[in-house]
Amino acid sequence: MLRAALALLRRDLLLARRRAGESLLVVAFLALATTLFPLGVGASPDLLGRIGTGVVWVLALLAVLLGLERLFQPDLEDGSLEQLLLSPAPLELLVLARCLAHWLATGLLVTLASPLLGLLLALPGEALLALPLVLLLGTPTLTLVGGIGAALLVGSGRGAMLAALLVLPLEIPVLIFGLAATEALAAGLDPTGALLLLGALLLAALAFAPLAIAAALRLALE
Amino acid sequence: MLEAEGLACRRGGRLVFEAVSFALEPGDALLLLGPNGSGKTSLLRLLAGLARPAAGTVRWRGRDIREERAEHAQRLHLVGFADGLKGLLGVAENLALQAALLGEPEARVTAALEAFDLAGRARDPVRALSSGQRRRLALARLLAVARPLWLLDEPGVALDRANRARLEGAIERHRAEGGLAVVASHGDVGLRDPLVLELGDGPPC
């Protein structure tokens, strides 16, 4: 049972490695998008310092939403999704494995790239350190919640844009508490409250998102 | 062993078929015939427990498969057009991972590839295969992981004569070992005295 989930994880990671170029494109897109902000609002370090962490968080959210289409749609089209339903492992567990693999190729990548993005916005050293730490706690939630939207719309032919619209309001708490924690950490204040809330959101998403995603996928394939 | 009783299928509000009943014993093969759109694929999905019938029940050893979906999934192979193969992964890699996903990590991958004459391509990426070779790799799953019930959707499509013979041999060996096969086909796969079910072009009025 667990072995089937591990097999799925292994396959997804193999696939992610063979198309590593796609993931690097996401990072390149983020870096380019970041450089638009100094161009758009002016390169004053004071102004960038105030909006910088917010910009990186919003871009991280967008990067996760952009990747949602690849979460289940390719598997629906090539028949893998049907085989997942016929696996002895519970679909919820397989869904969790899939989300983990997807997060490693998108969320973790964004997390690792965040200091670089912060550097492009001339953020101070404390913020460069705080960003990846808090993103590490926040991006898995973004992926899990986004997965619900992706699963609900899989096969509807409307694709990622509508899924993004659907889940965006649900992602806002992560953005709010993530930003609060990052800014508190960067300013040397106590970030415990925001971090705890962020952790609670992650635990709730871990518990409920796989159930919701699996139910949506079963419905899509009936 | 596998019984269908009064099955009906509705797709998009249209009644595709109704009152489909049959019973299969170990060693039996059921040949599904019928024009495009007559519901052959839908019937296979019903038998796999992937879809809910509009009416009727499917039973395995007398028990409704909808009440034991997880157990039923482990009894069967469903091989259809969407083969679940990943173009970026190798031939043997694909088969081994599919078998592991079916809960059988010690699958007979090499033997299965040999049986469908793919051993020489084991390390090639699947996207380099022709459609016939791809179909053979999908069918190799049948032999890599032993399951009593084979549900095959047009398995002969894209196969040349030699490989169709390999497929027919595999099905007959499976039946000889007490397995069941339900094959949707336009008659290109030869089965030894199968039960035949003709799905019509919609129900008679």
Domain boundaries, chain A: 2-221
pLDDT at A75 over 70: yes
* Weakly modelled stretches of chain B, pLDDT under 70: 201-205
- Write the residue in A8, A10, A79 that is nearest to B82 by C-beta: A79
Inter-chain contact A15–B86, Cβ cutoff 8 Å? Answer: yes
Q: Is the ipTM of this complex over 0.90?
A: no
**Do residue A7 and residue B70 have CB atoms under 8 angstroms apart?**
no
The pLDDT of residue B201 is: 59
A15 contacts chain B (CB < 8 A):
yes
> Rounded to whole angstroms, how far apart are CA atoms A104 and A91?
20
What pLDDT is attached to residue B204? 44
Spatial separation of the C-alpha atoms in residues A211 and B135, rounded to whole Å? 34
Cβ-Cβ contacts under 8 Å, B97 against chain A:
7, 10-11, 14
Position with higher pLDDT, A70 vs A214: A214
Give mean pLDDT, residues A181-189.
Answer: 92
CA B20, B24, B28: angle at the middle one, nearest 5?
125
Q: Which residues pair with B125 in a beta bridge?
A: B90
> CB A199: neighbour CB atoms within 10 A?
15
DSSP state of A158: -
Chain A partners of B78 at a C-beta cutoff of 8 Å?
82, 86
Whether A83 sits inside 8 A of B88 (CB atoms) is no
Residue B71 token pair: 């157990």
Q: How many CB atoms lie within 10 A of CB B67?
A: 11
What does the pLDDT read at residue B19? 87
In chain B, which residues have their Cβ closer than 8 Å to the Cβ of A88? 70, 73-74, 102-103
User: What is the Cα Rg of chain B in Å?
Assistant: 17
What is residue A38's three-state secondary structure? Answer: helix
- The pLDDT score that the predictor gives to residue A222 is 79
